[in-house]
Amino acid sequence: MKVAGSVGVITGGGGGLGGGVARMLVEGGGKAVILDLESSGGAELAASLGPNALFIPTDVTDSTQIERAIEQAVEQAGRIDLCVNAAGISPAHRVVDRKGRVHPLEVFEKTIDVNLIGAFDVLRHAAKAMTRNEPGQDGERGLIVNVSSAAGLEGQPGQAAYTASKGALVALTLQLARDLAVWGIRVMTIAPGIMDTPMLAGIDEKRRSQLIDLHVFPKRLGTPEDFAALVRCFMEVTLLNGECVRLDAATRLGP
């Protein structure tokens, strides 16, 4: 799959990792369809990227909005070749905290709803649209990239909900690849480590330095550009399928 001429749908595309993918697509001669909340920076990003970017306000917990957004993406961009699920939330709460308060069930449910069910809802509709594509190299019709996390592999204290949602995406990777192989649709997952995104906004320099020090090499935070470059690699190398790739500078999180 070539970037030039391709159409990518990106959830959470209004900024951060998803925004990096949107920029990569447009700068490489493709089209980016940004799905994000109305309150995100999606409209501004799409305007800055020009006519090959489209912003569709979408809440990934609303199945009706998702179905309409995918339909609109196909109507206005002509097709969908790539789907990147980068929308997500990361609330923190211990199962029982030091004050004896139990983990709120609604927080767990909301996290699963956004990070897991929302991603699956988007990819199922995107995959249906991809089945209508004319097959390209190796008979490929599309690529789905889900965004997990190092926490999905090595959960930290206070991350029960986040770890469950992101770990499930890792577990689904091979299953989805096998399920969609008949249509020539590949499925890959990225497990980012510590990335320089809006999630880290507001932390002080001392804490930032500590986070950087967790990286074995290179000693820097990951960037949306790093993430987008990996997505581009997935697009261009069709033999990559059914695998979760860590993007974390060899970081392994301790307890």
Per-residue pLDDT of the chain (255 residues; tens, 9 = 90+): 999 999 999 999 999 999 999 999 999 999 999 999 999 999 999 999 999 999 999 999 999 999 999 999 999 999 999 999 999 999 999 999 999 999 999 999 999 999 999 999 999 999 999 999 999 989 999 999 999 999 999 999 999 999 999 999 999 999 999 999 999 999 999 999 999 987 777 788 888 898 899 999 999 999 999 999 999 999 999 999 999 999 999 999 877
Q: Give yes or no: 235 in active site.
A: no
* DSSP strand pairing (185-192 vs 7-11): unpaired
Question: Looking at residue 204, what is its pLDDT?
Answer: 84
Contact at 8 Å (CB) between 179 and 241?
no
Q: Which domains does the chain have, with CATH numbers?
A: 7-247 (3.40.50.720)
Question: Looking at residue 248, what is its pLDDT?
Answer: 96
Residues in the chain: 255
Please give the Cα distance from 146 to 33 (Å, whole number). Answer: 16
For residue range 155-194, what is the model confidence (pLDDT) as tens digits? 999 999 999 999 999 999 999 999 999 999 999 999 999 9
Question: Looking at residue 236, what is its pLDDT?
Answer: 98
What does the DSSP assignment read for the chain? --STT-EEEEETTTSHHHHHHHHHHHHTT-EEEEEE-TTSSHHHHHHHH-TTEEEEE--TT-HHHHHHHHHHHHHHHS---EEEE-------B-SB-TT-PBPPHHHHHHHHIIIIIHHHHHHHHHHHHHTTSPP-GGG--EEEEEE--GGGTSPPTTBHHHHHHHHHHHHHHHHHHHHHGGGTEEEEEEEE-SB-SGGGTT--HHHHHHHHHT-SSS-S-B-HHHHHHHHHHHHH-TT--SEEEEESTT-----
Question: Looking at residue 200, what is its pLDDT?
Answer: 75
Please give the Cα distance from 129 to 69 (Å, whole number). Answer: 12
Question: Looking at residue 255, what is its pLDDT?
Answer: 78
Question: Looking at residue 232, what is its pLDDT?
Answer: 98
Percent with pLDDT over 70 in the chain:
100
Query: Which residue among the candidates 55, 108, 162, 227 is catalytic per the annotation?
Result: 162
Question: Looking at residue 203, what is its pLDDT?
Answer: 82
